């Protein structure tokens, strides 16, 4: 719980999550999956578009926050909170139209297992966006905040190799439109954008 306390504000509402949902443009009736949903910064925005949201979150405290937030949302009937990880989401095979993960890839126990799970759950014509902000980049607006604290600076979000993720997604049969370093919501980040034909 304490591990995420310093991100509390960004995890409630974040421009990156908003940009991710806007980019994926979920449609009413689609089923979307927020992998490592945290406090629901992406899930809550997505639910307002009329899609069905599966918020996958392994940390019990975060699931409590998600459930509390869900209970007060007018879209609560379309939000399901699931105890799972990127590597084992617990959702049905081929049931997901849109999936994203913001600032969780660096937590995955195994990127390979996470991609195998995405391969299992993504349905035909589905869309995927994986983003890990690069807080080690001096142009990141939060760079100074993390630089000043040794313990925080050792928390490297962008520790994932985007080339390896890209290669594994292609191997799984996805079309990868982009896999590398770019900016989203004016922040430097690892971004992997793909579709399943
Ligand atoms: C920095 S938070 C980001 C939360 C949310 N995606 C956001 O952008 O606000 C990282 C989240 O990843 C979750 N997490 C940890 N291990 C994970 C795993 N193996 N698979 C998916 N999520 C994981 C944590 O519980 C936490 O909620």
Q: Is the CB of 41 under 6 A from ligand 1?
A: yes
Starting at the edge strand found earlier in the chain, the sheet holding 175-184 runs 79-82, 52-56, 31-35, 96-102, 122-133, 187-196, 175-184
Please check the confidence at residue 3 and state whether its pLDDT lies above 90. Answer: no
Task: Concatenate the DSSP letters of all residues of 134-157 into one string.
Answer: -TTSTTSTTHHHHHT-HHHHT--T
Q: Is the CB of 17 under 6 A from ligand 1?
A: yes
For the stretch 132-181, pLDDT in tens is 999 889 999 988 876 765 454 455 666 799 999 999 999 999 999 999 99
The residue ranking higher by pLDDT, 10 or 165, is: 165
Q: What was the pLDDT predicted at 149?
A: 56
For the chain, percent of residues with pLDDT exceeding 90: 83
Please check the confidence at residue 8 and state whether its pLDDT lies above 80. Answer: no
92 contact partners, CB below 8 Å, separation of at least 6: 121
The domains of the chain are located at: 2-196
Pairwise CA distance, residues 48 & 89, whole Å: 23
DSSP 8-state symbol, 86:
S
Please check the confidence at residue 72 and state whether its pLDDT lies above 50. Answer: yes
Pairwise CA distance, residues 18 & 35, whole Å: 15
The residue ranking higher by pLDDT, 4 or 14, is: 14
| Superfamily (CATH H level) for 2-196 | Vaccinia Virus protein VP39 (3.40.50.150)
Q: Is the CB of 61 under 6 A from ligand 1?
A: no
Which helix or strand (DSSP H or E) is residue 35 part of?
strand 31-35
Taking Cα atoms as reference points, which of 100, 105, 107, 97 lies closest to residue 41? 100
Which helix or strand (DSSP H or E) is residue 116 part of?
helix 111-121
For the stretch 107-134, pLDDT in tens is 999 999 999 999 999 999 999 999 999 9
**Distance, CA 57 to ligand 1 centroid (Å)?**
7
pLDDT band at 12 (very low <50, low <70, confident <90, very high): confident
Q: 121-146 burial, b for 16+ CB within 10 Å, e for fewer? A: bbeeebbbbbbbbbbbeeebeebeeb
Answer whether 39's CB lies under 8 Å from 8's CB.
Answer: yes
């Amino acid at each position: 719980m304490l591990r995420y306390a310093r991100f509390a504000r960004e995890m409630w509402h974040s421009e990156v999550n908003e940009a991710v949902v806007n980019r994926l443009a979920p449609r009413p009736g689609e089923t979307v999956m927020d992998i490592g949903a945290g406090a629901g910064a992406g899930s809550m925005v997505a639910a307002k578009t009329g899609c069905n949201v599966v918020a996958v979150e392994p940390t019990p405290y975060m699931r409590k926050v998600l459930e509390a937030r869900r209970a007060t949302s007018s879209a609560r009937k379309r939000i399901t909170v699931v105890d799972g990880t990127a590597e084992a989401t617990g959702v049905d095979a081929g049931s997901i139209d849109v999936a994203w993960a913001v600032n969780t890839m660096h937590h995955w126990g195994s990127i390979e297992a996470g991609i195998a799970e995405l391969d299992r759950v993504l349905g035909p014509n589905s869309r995927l966006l994986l983003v890990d902000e690069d807080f080690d980049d001096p142009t990141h607006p939060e760079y100074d905040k993390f630089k000043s604290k040794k313990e925080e600076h050792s928390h490297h979000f962008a520790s994932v190799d985007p080339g390896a993720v890209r290669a594994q997604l292609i191997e799984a049969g996805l079309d990868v439109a982009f896999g590398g370093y770019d900016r989203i919501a004016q922040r430097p980040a690892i971004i992997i954008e793909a579709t399943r034909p």
